[in-house]
Amino acid sequence: EAGVAQSPRYKIIEKRQSVAFWCNPISGHATLYWYQQILGQGPKLLIQFQNNGVVDDSQLPKDRFSAERLKGVDSTLKIQPAKLEDSAVYLCASSLDRARTDTQYFGPGTRLTVL
């Protein structure tokens, strides 16, 4: 079974530039998550989708971050404009559904460096 795919794996940009990350979840998984992992910390949830709808974006900095999952499968996370403090690894995860017993499976992440 293929895992969660993410691209690109690495991205270096200058502050105030824009960047986009792509995620393709495990086939059949209805729930998709984006996490931000700053160096030396555990991942923190940015946004959660159920199929093509947003169910939790309370921790997403909406003035600069946006995300979509238009067809309920793959998803894109965008930052515009980027700040130095956005340097982090952006992890995508998926789970079968939102049941309490469902496990979240993570992709390899995209390491973003903002100069």
Partner 1 sequence: AQSVAQPEDQVNVAEGNPLTVKCTYSVSGNPYLFWYVQYPNRGLQFLLKYITGDNLVKGSYGFEAEFNKSQTSFHLKKPSALVSDSALYFCAVRVFNNAGNMLTFGGGTRLMVKP
- Per CB under 8 A, the list member of 44, 51, 62, 85 interacting with partner 1 is 44
Q: How far is the CB of 5 from partner 1 (least distance, A)?
A: 10
Distance between CA atoms of residues 64 and 78, nearest Å: 8
Distance between CA atoms of residues 15 and 47, nearest Å: 23
> Quick check: 100 binds partner 1 (CB under 8 A)?
yes
> Quick check: 22 binds partner 1 (CB under 8 A)?
no
Residues, the chain: 115
In the range 54-93, which residues lie near partner 1 by CB under 8 A?
55-56, 91, 93
Q: Is 87 exposed, middle or buried (0-12, 13-18, 19+ CB in 10 A)?
A: middle
> Quick check: 48 binds partner 1 (CB under 8 A)?
yes
